[in-house]
Amino acid sequence: MGDKKSLGLGEFDLIAKYFAPLSVGCEGALSLLDDGAVLDIPEDESLVVSTDCMTEGIHFLEGTAGKHVATRVLGANLSDLAAMGATPRWIFLSLQLPKNTPKNTNEYWEDWLDDFSTALGSGLDKFGVSLAGGDTVTTLGPLAVTITALGSVKKGSALKRSGAEVGDEIWVSGTLGDAQLGLEILQMGDDAPNDKNSNFLITRHHTPEPRVELGKMLAQIGVVNACIDISDGLVADMSHICEASNVTAEIQLSNIPLSSAAKVLLDYDPTRVHKAAFGGGDDYELLFCLSPENSEQLNLLKSKTPFCKIGKIGTISEKSQNKGHAVKIVDPKGENVVVESGGWDHLK
Ligand code: ADP
Ligand code: MG
């Protein structure tokens, strides 16, 4: 089904031109010329697989450059593998390209694919990952890009959401809320400020940094009880750990890490910054729990991860009888902060 010729280049020419180069070095990808890929992992490892789909108008603004779509969808996928402690190895890429509209010509799509595949290639190189296959179709709907990422982890050491225990410390990497603040700046269109801090926040939205090295180290030290990546917002993702582990969480407002760009905004619009830090999606930082007895191991790890700071933000508590929110944020006076945004849920 589908008129595959409507993008100018035929499907197979398109794959050969833009995508086969990203499979070079991966023998099992069979140059993207066969019906499937043939992939091996070491015998003592488990395969970890995750998939994420992003659509134009929902996950990224209409007309977003190909390079930004590539880094975001790749970042989201590799972040899921990082949250499991896996080493990423291969991705599969499915593209649903809108049939030509008067606005978007064949040339438009060829330029878009060039930009997209170049950025995807750099992202793959950076993490030592190969493109091993995919599918390319046209659609009457909006552009949609799906990546399935495959990685591997030593048997029995994958990080999960379900093991947080009462008394555990809650830790987070990087800074929170930047991607959401960056999106809000982009949404201002022509009125968007163009200064160093705004550009930093926009970059955090366009170019998430999946915490692959950190995730691998957390799996290796073997004392992390639960881990998740923050793709839906701190409160929503912390709630996922709480539900899976049957516990609650108390987070100290003053410990929530903010970038210096977000701190500048905090001075004159604290509500907006807090909302972004609690509920903004797409930061792709790692949120994880471990017993205070083992936190010394994290201090050692800190010196080995100069590429990404980590800090303690709260504690895991028992689940209370009266059903309140699973996640509490407490200000320096000990008072509960009202959490307006519970994060991103597509079906709500
Ligand atoms: P089939 O019809 O047997 O499903 P396709 O014609 O869809 O195979 O794809 C041919 C080859 O090209 C396969 O190896 C597939 O994995 C690869 N491929 C198709 N689209 C992409 C893409 N967007 N990125 C990477 N590989 C792709
Ligand atoms: Mg196919």
Token pair of 37 as six digits: 């890929």
Nearest CA to ligand 1 atom 27: 134
Token pair of 248 as six digits: 């609650």
All residues with CB under 5 Å from ion ligand 2: 135
Q: Which of 10-14, 261-265, 320-324 has the lowest mean pLDDT?
A: 320-324
Please report which ligand is nearest the Cα atom of 18: 1
The pLDDT score that the predictor gives to residue 29 is: 97
Which residue has 């996928």 as its token pair?
Answer: 77
From 1, 15, 24, 143, mutation site for ligand 1 pocket: most ligand atoms within 8 A of C-beta? 15
The pLDDT score that the predictor gives to residue 343 is: 52
- The domains located in the chain, with CATH, are 5-154 (3.30.1330.10), 169-330 (3.90.650.10)
How many angstroms separate the first and last alpha carbons of the chain? 32
Instruction: State the chain's mean pLDDT as an integer.
Output: 92
Q: Percent of the chain having pLDDT more than 90?
A: 80
The model scores a pTM over 0.75: yes
Distance 35 CA to ligand 1 centre (A): 7
Q: Is the pLDDT at 240 greater than 60, yes or no?
A: yes
Helices 66-83 + 212-221 axis angle, to 10: 0
Q: Which stretches does DSSP call E strand in 80-168? A: 87-98, 130-139, 144-154
The pLDDT score that the predictor gives to residue 7 is: 66
Distance 159 CA to ligand 2 centre (A): 33
The pLDDT score that the predictor gives to residue 301 is: 81
CA proximity to 150, closest of 24, 75, 47, 22: 47
Question: pLDDT category, 188, cuts 50, 70, 90?
Answer: very high
Q: Which atom of ligand 1 is nearest to the CA of 131?
A: 25
